[in-house]
Amino acid sequence: MSDRRIARGLDYLIRDQEADGSWFGRWGVNYLYGTSGALSALAVIAPERYQVQIERGVAWLVSCQNADGGWGETCRSYNDPSLKGQGPSTASQTAWALLGLLDAGCVDTAPQQALKTGIQYLLNSQNPDGTWNEAEFTGTGFPGHFYLRYHLYRQYFPMMALGRYRQNGG
């Protein structure tokens, strides 16, 4: 991919960051998914250049963490942005938040407590056979119209987050 295309993509991400530090999501519900992906992209491509935007995104994710240590967001956040980052904790949405925090380098920084309690949420909610249950819709077909329950979202995203956490020294 050309440097010009990467620069255009990064410009888009910076323009699209919300005032509270979050990003809108499209394939997963919603701001948790979008923020995680944007943080990962910025942190992989140009972390020093976009440190302020990364810190704002991290702060927003941490502010949305539920009391049980997980993260969740209702599909209604597509129609009502005041609900962004709010909802019952799910394995997939917790994993998205954790992946964004991990990619942003939070293993050894101030948000590490949020990271640790999120990891603990995944471990505590895992079934004895190694799977996770998830009743909520966390996939997006058409925002505001129909949502999906991808049955593997609740399995592979948590495994990715746990694996990346371990790989990063957690």
d(C-alpha 137, C-alpha 74), whole Å: 8
Least confident piece of the model among 39-48, 108-117, 152-161: 108-117
- Residue with the larger pLDDT of the pair 37 and 168: 37
| pLDDT higher than 60, residue 98 | yes
Amino acid 140: pLDDT: 87
Q: Kindly indicate the confidence band of residue 108, based on its pLDDT and cuts at 50, 70 and 90.
A: low
Instruction: Report the percentage of the chain scoring pLDDT > 90.
Output: 81
pLDDT per position as a tens digit, 31-67:
999 999 999 999 999 899 999 999 999 999 999 999 9
| pLDDT higher than 90, residue 110 | no
Q: Which residues lie below 8 Å from residue 84, measured CB to CB, with a gap of 6+?
A: 20, 22, 30, 31, 64, 73, 77
H/E segment holding residue 112: helix 112-125
d(C-alpha 129, C-alpha 29), whole Å: 26
d(C-alpha 35, C-alpha 101), whole Å: 10
Q: Which domains does the chain have, with CATH numbers?
A: 3-167 (1.50.10.20)
Q: Rounded to two decimals, what is the model's pTM?
A: 0.94
d(C-alpha 52, C-alpha 148), whole Å: 34
d(C-alpha 104, C-alpha 131), whole Å: 26
